[in-house]
Structure 1
Amino acid sequence: MFTGIIEETGTLVSSIRGPRSCVLDIRARAVLDGTVPGDSIAVNGVCLTASAVSSTGFTADVMPETMARTGLGSMNPGALVNLERAMAADGRFGGHIVSGHIDGTGTISMIKREGNAIWYTVRTCPSILDLIIEKGSIAMDGISLTVARVTDRDFCVSVIPHTAGHTNLVRKTVGSTVNLENDCVGKYVGKYLAKLLTVPRHDSHPGSAVTEEFLLRNGF
């Protein structure tokens, strides 16, 4: 589990690509402290296993499912990547619950400065937008951010200078792809409610479903 508080930005040294997978070689420093092969590191929000660790970086395998759902496969050598080690049991919970399992990608459609803040507007698909709420949390390339606005086409986040300067956002431009992970609490609640409202109830009225009238009648 991660928290979305980026520890450092690393540099992609190489990406050895197969037909549907790849092996990433990443130069890093801070996240190497205490890290051994088999440990988890979030790379742009994607939970990856360090298959090898050296004094200057680590390598990680990216499987086909991850390639299909994230932007890792499109990165070129020299790209900045956000890095975070898995949360220690005695660590501070500075962001929100981040699993490192990406729901999909978005595209930055606008970047605007306002005082000391930078606004990023991100366009993405309805299945991701449906689980985003205003003032809720979203992990964008692994960064824990608060949603300032959401529409049926996109959402906006307002980023402080520290976050922009200490993550790969410093190199993002309009058209850049970002990995997105919805708040996992919202995903669980959404799935539960969808099932509750559609699955027939096994009571004295077989085949009936939970309806708005039923919920009102029972005090909801």
Structure 2
Amino acid sequence: APHTTMGLRQCLTLLYVTAAHSWAACARGTSTRTLATVLVASRARPLFAVFSGIVEEIGRVAVMEKRRDLSLWDGTIGEGWQMQVEASTVLEGAYLGCSIAVNGVCLTVTEFDETHFSVGVAPETLRLTNLNGIAAGAPINLERALAADGRNSGHYVQGHVDDVGVIEAMTPDGEALTVRVRPPARLMPYIVAKGFIAVDGTSLTVCNSNAEEGWFDFMLVSYTQSKIILPKKSVGDMVNLEVDAMAKYVERSMSSLLERMHVLETKLEEQEARLREA
């Protein structure tokens, strides 16, 4: 392999990629030698969609329409929603099938030219995100997927939006802007002060989180305000939310551990009871 100098974040990215594809390779019976070859060859192109939450540009919806002439997997013709987006930066290096985060939603490019790209929008995406009802002319946050050795100045964003939240307040604080959001109650356990959250695909640090009242807030410095769409929104508008995936994994692991501890505790209590009776 060529000699390279990588920082900690880049190494972690490669480890993340390696782990994910090792699991996939095992499932397919792919050899580790083949996997290593793929990893080296793909350093300039993402193996799978991981984003940083650092918005690259604000694009604009050119067309959002329901198509009735889409070719389906079985050769028949069906219907579905398609979005065409006007962009520039994220089209650099674009290819059919590449992933672009649109307001934090990982979508697959189906067509593109020098000024536009098109993506299909699935029913689940429309149910869970603010792309439902978006109209031509609307500004949108755009980001390309990270390359395996790319820099990550935000946090690992999957582009799998959990749900939408509602903006409750937007309060200027000097040159900064504090934004308070009310998420669905089921997401509050994953939102903690000083933790990560992606809002419309933007990697942000939670300032305060109030589980009892059901809200969290974050602060946008002036530079960030000029690079994303959020300051253009108003109280009552919806934002896409993706909580830090690590919090979900920790909860799953801890839940399993607590279940095993409960079983062990029950067995110990039963053993103590038998010893007292003896």
TM-score above 0.5? yes
> What is the rounded CA distance, in whole Å, between the counterparts of 2:209 and 2:169 in structure 1?
14
> What is the rounded CA distance, in whole Å, between the counterparts of 1:207 and 1:103 in structure 2?
40
> What is the rounded CA distance, in whole Å, between the counterparts of 2:191 and 2:265 in structure 1?
37
> What is the rounded CA distance, in whole Å, between the counterparts of 1:131 and 1:149 in structure 2?
13
* 1:170 CA drift (Å): 3.1
TM-score, normalised via structure 2 length: 0.70
Q: What amino acid sits opposite 2:240 in the alignment?
A: N
> What is the rounded CA distance, in whole Å, between the counterparts of 1:79 and 1:189 in structure 2?
37
* Aligned match for 1:180, one of 238, 241, 252: 241
* 1:109 CA drift (Å): 0.8
Q: Contact conserved, 1:200 with 1:206, CA < 8 A, in 2?
A: no
Q: What amino acid sits opposite 1:6 in the alignment?
A: V
Q: Contact conserved, 1:121 with 1:155, CA < 8 A, in 2?
A: yes
**What is the match of residue 23 of structure 2?**
none
**What is the match of residue 9 of structure 1?**
58
* 1:21 CA drift (Å): 4.6
> What is the rounded CA distance, in whole Å, between the counterparts of 1:162 and 1:108 in structure 2?
20
* Aligned match for 2:222, one of 161, 164, 178: 161
Alpha carbons of 1:206 and 1:65: their partners in 2 closer, same or farther (altered >3 Å)? farther
Give structure 2 stretches of 5+ with no counterpart.
Answer: 1-49, 69-78, 270-278
Q: Which has the higher contact order (CA 8 A, sep 6+)?
A: 1
* 1:22 CA drift (Å): 1.5
Q: How does 1:17-96 map to 2 (within 5 A)?
A: 17=66, 21-96=80-155
Give structure 1 stretches of 5+ with no counterpart.
Answer: 209-220
Q: How does 1:126-137 map to 2 (within 5 A)?
A: 126-137=185-196
- Relative to its length, the structure with more strand (as a share) is 1
Q: Contact conserved, 1:137 with 1:144, CA < 8 A, in 2?
A: yes
Taking only the aligned residue pairs, the percentage that are identical comes to 38
RMSD: 2.1
Deviating 4+ runs (over 6 angstroms): 200-208
Query: In the alignment, does 2:252 pair up with 1:191?
Result: yes
**What is the match of residue 212 of structure 1?**
none
TM-score, normalised via structure 1 length: 0.88
Whose radius of gyration is greater, 1 or 2? 2
Give the number of aligned pairs.
208
Q: Deviations over 1:115-160 (max 9, x none)?
A: 1110100011121111011000000000000000011211000001
Tell me, what secondary structure is at the counterpart of 1:35? coil
> What is the rounded CA distance, in whole Å, between the counterparts of 1:204 and 1:133 in structure 2?
30
Q: What amino acid sits opposite 1:44 in the alignment?
A: N
**What is the match of residue 97 of structure 1?**
156
Query: In the alignment, does 2:232 pair up with 1:171?
Result: yes
Alpha carbons of 1:14 and 1:199: their partners in 2 closer, same or farther (altered >3 Å)? farther
**What is the match of residue 168 of structure 2?**
109
Greater shift in the superposed pair: 12-21 or 121-130: 12-21
Alpha carbons of 1:204 and 1:155: their partners in 2 closer, same or farther (altered >3 Å)? closer
